[in-house]
Chains A and B, each alone.
Chain A
Amino acid sequence: MIDFRNVKKFYSNGTVALDGVDLHVDDGEFVFIVGHSGAGKSTMMKLLLREEAASSGTITVGDYELTNIKNKDIPYYRRNLGVVFQDFRLFPNKTVYENVAFAMQVVGTPRAMIKRRVPAILTTVNLAEKMKCFPRELSGGEQQRVALARALANNPKMIIADEPTGNIDPKMSIEIMNLLMKINKLGKTVIVVTHEKNLVDYYKQRVVMLKEGRIIEDRVGGMFQ
């Protein structure tokens, strides 16, 4: 469950990135967060990842109150999230297998379990045969599937995807979105930040539209207008 209550975020240069945002997302929902550049999408992501703290208001994600969270608890909070970025952010010097395994090593998963689970996850994203490849040897779509596999590695309750189709071709974009839909059907909350109108309109999920730091529309089965 995600709960934003009157969340504001100001920067020291006077920019108002979020201006009194109220948003509630239940477990298992699929939500598109849309808006043009400067609407506040990235700031919302940063607050959700607790990369930055809100200037005022409260943000609750599951059992964690992000406005009061202690620094030492932030890594443990992040382990409940699976994050996918537009630029994939894979470890360039680790193989596909190691990239996914690393997320599990971080949380202390036993080696034997990692050996069993990583191939299974890579099979889910159709990359089992590229396990020993390095990211530079993969296409953009494949790299994003590795990122998705890494996001799923620790069986998180929520997947947050920041422009997941921004760096890949349209065919691969559909494939990635289908994977995200599949993950959502398994009961996980999925938040997708995007400005790709066609994808949003095609999947007809809940759409939260931001403009100048405010939510101007929040509709189930909505369109990107």
Chain B
Amino acid sequence: MKRRYSTRFFLEQAFKGLTRNGVMSVASIAVLMSCLIVLGIFSLLLLNINVNLDKIAELNEIMVYCEYELTEDQIVEVEEKIKSLDNVGKVKRITKAEALQTMIDESGEYADLYSDITPENNPLCDSFEIIYEDMDGTSVYNLESQLWEIEGVRKINTVYKIAKTIDSLKSGVMLVFIWFLVILFIVSIFVIINTIKLAVYSRKSEITVMRYVGATNGFITLPFLFEGVIIGGAASALAFACQSYIYIYIEKMAANEMQMITVLPYTEVWPLLVLGFLAIGILTGVIGSVASLNKYLKY
């Protein structure tokens, strides 16, 4: 007699199987969860490193420092000349008073060291932050030469070389990280599948009896498949909770204490985490269960 069984029946069997083999179920969930957390941490690290490298690589900025003794009119004249040059996008003047204030702000507890400096004896100079439009190396050097020709310019700082070096290194760095991630993923899959194999092995005699009483392979497999989904789902949920907690903590810490580092906002990464964890968790749970069962189902 061939007959279709309800999903409810198999779900009941799966839950009974999981609760009555509690130790192995908990072990499988714990291993899967740990692997997911490690994978999650590494993936988020990779994403954030990428963003930070991109940020550095996009530094198309030149700092121009004026002579100390320039008058206000002369400084305005320098600004006008800079603005008139080709490829110059935005020009922002930083007065020597603003430069001093920034220096004091960044000094934190040592700010007192600058208490003797007044607007009259301020040793800093006025400067300009120039954002240029996207250009190749030669054009940047041309712009730099043009800036040197302006009267009243004392010093020019450009990060073009550093930015371009980082940009060229970025693909190599990312490739290494991606390979690490792939290896970590493969190792995790093996660990997860082996743990589930052990769980299935502990129930080998149960499977044998099922075969003797005439259970079809589908009938034997389905509860294990559902168990795989439940184990995967539970591990994903727990891993997501832990990962979110860790990430939010790091995001807050970075915002307060490491402002030079950009951390992707949690609101942007959580959908990736949910999808990734659920896909990996459930897939490995199901594949692990079914692959482990296969050898006990041969005739």
Instruction: Compute how far the CA of A93 lies from the CA of B207 in the bound complex, rounded to whole angstroms.
Output: 13
Flag if B216 contacts A75 (CB, 8 Å): yes
Contact A89 B208 (CB under 8 A): yes
Complex alpha-carbon distance, A72 and B17, angstroms: 25
Q: Are A76 and B209 also in contact (CB < 8 A) when A50-B299, A108-B1 are?
A: no
Cβ-neighbour of B211 out of A78, A92, A93, A108 (below 8 A): A78
Taken residue by residue from 1 to 45, chain B's Cβ proximity to chain A (1 for < 8 Å, 0 otherwise) reads as 111010001000000110011000000000000000000000000
On chain A, the residues within 8 Å of B211 by CB distance are 75, 78
User: Which of chain B's residues have a CB closer than 8 A to the CB of A72?
Assistant: 216
B272 to chain A, nearest CB (A): 39
Taking a contact as CB atoms under 8 Å apart, the answer to whether A78 and B299 are in contact is: no
Q: Which residues of B contact A186 (CB under 8 A)?
A: none
CB atoms of B20 and A71 under 8 A apart: no
The answer to whether A107 touches B209 (Cβ under 8 A) is no
Q: Count the A residues whose beta carbon is within 8 Å of the partner chain — how many?
A: 25
A78 touches B214 (CB 8 A): yes
**Per-position contact with B for A71-88: 1 when CB-CB < 8 Å, else 0?**
110111111000100000
A106 touches B209 (CB 8 A): no
B76 in the interface, Cβ–Cβ < 8 Å?
no
Which one of A50, A93, A94, A106 lies within 8 Å of B213 (CB-CB)?
A106
Within 8 A of B (CB), among A58-117: 71-72, 74-79, 83, 89-94, 102-103, 105-108
Contacts of A92 in B (CB 8 A): 206
User: Which chain A residues border B122 with CB–CB below 8 Å?
Assistant: none
Question: How many B residues have CB within 8 A of the partner chain?
Answer: 23
CA of A155 to CA of B205 in the docked complex: distance in angstroms? 24
B146 to chain A, nearest CB (A): 83
Report the minimal beta-carbon distance from B285 to chain A, rounded to whole angstroms: 20
Judge whether B253 is part of the interface by a CB distance below 8 angstroms: no
User: Majority SS of interface residues in chain B?
Assistant: helix
Q: Give the chain A neighbours of B219 by CB distance below 8 A.
A: 75, 106
Nearest Cβ in chain A — how far from B46, in angstroms? 43
A49 to B2 CA separation, bound complex (whole angstroms) = 20
Interface membership of A8, Cβ < 8 A: no
Whether B183 sits at the interface, judged by CB under 8 Å, is: no
Minimum Cβ distance to chain A for residue B11 (Å) = 14
Closest Cβ of chain A to B244, distance in Å, is 35
Instruction: Say whether A89 contacts B299, CB under 8 Å.
Output: no
Give chain B residues whose Cβ lies under 8 Å from the Cβ of A89. 205, 208-209, 212
CA separation between A94 and B13, bound complex, in Å? 11
Quick check: B1 and A150 within 8 Å, CB to CB?
Answer: no
Residues of A within 8 A of B (CB): 49-50, 71-72, 74-79, 83, 89-94, 102-103, 105-108, 150, 154
Report B's interface with A, CB cutoff 8 A. Answer: 1-3, 5, 9, 16-17, 20-21, 205-206, 208-217, 219, 299
Other A-B pairs beyond A89-B205, A93-B21, A107-B3, 15, CB < 8 Å: A71-B299, A75-B215, A79-B1, A83-B212, A89-B208, A90-B209, A91-B206, A92-B206, A93-B16, A93-B20, A103-B214, A106-B215, A107-B214, A108-B5, A150-B213
